[in-house]
A = this chain, B = another copy of it.
Amino acid sequence: MSKNLTTRAEDYSKWYNELVVKADLAENSGVKGCMVIKPYGYAIWEKIQAELDRMFKETGHSNAYFPLFVPKSMFEAEEKNAEGFAKECAVVTHYRLQNDPDKPGKLRVDPNAKLEEELVVRPTSEAIIWSTYKKWIQSHRDLPLLINQWANVVRWEMRTRLFLRTAEFLWQEGHTAHATRTEAIEETEKMMNVYAEFAENFMAIPVVKGIKTANERFAGAEETYCIEALMQDGKALQAGTSHFLGQNFAKAFDVKFANAEGKLEHVWGTSWGVSTRLMGALIMTHSDDKGLVLPPNLAPTQVVIVPIHKTDEQLEAIDAVANDLVAQFRKLKISVKYDNRTTLKPGFKFNEYELKGVPVRIAIGPNDLENGTFEVARRDTLTKEVVAKDAVVKHIELLLEQIQDELFDKAFEYRNSHITEVSNFDEFKDVLENKGGFVSAHWDGTSETEEKIKDLTKATIRCIPLDRKEEAGRCVLTGKPSAGRVLFAKAY
């Protein structure tokens, strides 16, 4: 395995694929379109999970678990949802294999073990969950019902990419039921805000909050809110969605409640999710040609200590100092690793931790011990400084916060400098081709125009930003009137 990655300038897509594998995040499996999430990648996902789970619980949600399979008749019940996912779903038709009479040692599906009704492997769980909510909801006292599920889902994608688009992926899906339209919309917006806060404060990924157009809306929703991030190659990435389902699923599954006056009404629903796709966003927001760059919040190892020595005696002296440092960091709940493997050279270790994005590296050599100083290196800026021994723990505690903040600031500046307002279609195409990023343009509000622009440029409307200003204008393609700008981009 070559140590060096393809650079972003050479081939961005290749850089990404190599980084994911070489930094031990994930790899393709022997199952078409499905990935293996490797221990280092999974450790980052666990940090994402833990923080989101905390935030969901803090906002009143409980976890539960619903079946992997959706019987076909249940899957069909909400028509738009079914139509949206039918084209890409894995279907279980049999429940047994048997010895293949024609091929010794091989198995085949047992023709006598065909299911009466096919089972769809959940591409999303609205159907199975709303069929359950029918049993759980009778009265307004049962509402709101605020449930989240951590699960795997399957969408049969033909062109897959590690983390970004895989046939099976891991996610969480919130499914809530409410007595009123207003309350359901409030929940939808609240969870979009939870996602935005999480992306920005925890993952250091700036996002635009907005609403999807009808074309890009979740199948079965009345409105889809989203957070959109911008990758370093100028392409957008949808990092999370929150759907206002109206009464669509309540009607499809006959979920009614008796209101305070005893009158039966259909309940109002929401659903919202983020997935292992966030790992792709994380990688493509911060990383560089040396490998992964991790915000300290997400780093399984925040600080690594590497000894530089020639003799065993030197190593012993360094060991003592390093072990003391480790203990001090642990007290502060800073995750630290002292890598004193003697089979590997320091330079090899430096490369490895750069590739894996460990935010801070401390190198300790015999001279450092004499001088009472350490060399402290930052992964994000690739800069080094010399820090006095007694000050180093406090210094790094603050440095980790600083790195977290500066990674956000850097991504924020990049993102902001890549939102470009255009006033005609030539400009639109020019920005899209030569600069990338979000193109802020007037649009006449029709799906036809949206699709025409997509056909011509591959750009889609990422969202109608929630904070857009009202501004009369003319559609960039058709010249028809528009009430405000929307954000277009090529997207993952």
Q: Chain A interface (Cβ within 8 Å of chain B)?
A: 27, 29-31, 34-39, 42-43, 45-46, 62-72, 74-76, 79, 82, 86-98, 105-109, 118-121, 128, 131-132, 135, 141, 147, 151-152, 154, 156, 168, 170, 343
Contact = CB atoms under 8 A, between A and B. Distances in A.
B90 A76 contact: no
Contacts of A98: 86
A170 B151 CA distance: 10
Given A30-B74, A107-B86, A35 B96 contact: no
A94 B91 contact: yes
Nearest to A73: B106
A390 B64 CA distance: 38
A67 B36 CA distance: 6
Q: Identify the interface centre among A46, A70, A89: most chain B CB within 10 Å of its CB.
A: A89
A105 B79 contact: yes
A131 B30 contact: yes
Q: Which of A87, A95, A141 neighbours the largest number of chain B CB atoms within 10 Å of its CB?
A: A95
The complex is assembled from copies of this chain, and their number is 2
Contacts of A105: 76, 79
Contact of A34 (B68, B93, B120): B68
Contacts of A75: 97, 107
30 contacts: A27-B135, A29-B66, A29-B128, A29-B131, A29-B132, A30-B71, A30-B74, A31-B70, A31-B71, A34-B67, A34-B68, A36-B66, A37-B64, A37-B66, A42-B64, A43-B62, A68-B152, A69-B168, A72-B108, A75-B107, A76-B105, A88-B96, A89-B95, A89-B96, A91-B94, A91-B96, A92-B92, A95-B156, A141-B343, A152-B152
Contacts of A93: 91-94, 109
Contact of A39 (B76, B147, B168): B147
Nearest to A86: B97
A207 to B, nearest CB: 25
Contact of A97 (B37, B69, B120, B168): B120
Contact of A36 (B64, B74, B94, B106): B64
Contacts of A92: 90-93, 121
Nearest to A157: B95
A82 B96 contact: no
Q: When A and B form their complex, which 4 residue pairs have the shortest distance between CB atoms, in order from nearest?
A: A34-B67, A39-B62, A37-B65, A86-B97
Contacts of A62: 39, 42-43
A276 to B, nearest CB: 9
Contacts of A118: 109
B147 A106 contact: no
Given A29-B132, A68-B154, A92-B121, 17 more contacts: A30-B132, A31-B69, A31-B70, A36-B64, A39-B64, A42-B64, A45-B65, A65-B170, A67-B168, A69-B168, A72-B108, A79-B105, A86-B98, A90-B119, A91-B109, A93-B94, A95-B156
A291 to B, nearest CB: 19
B46 A63 contact: yes
Contacts of A343: 141
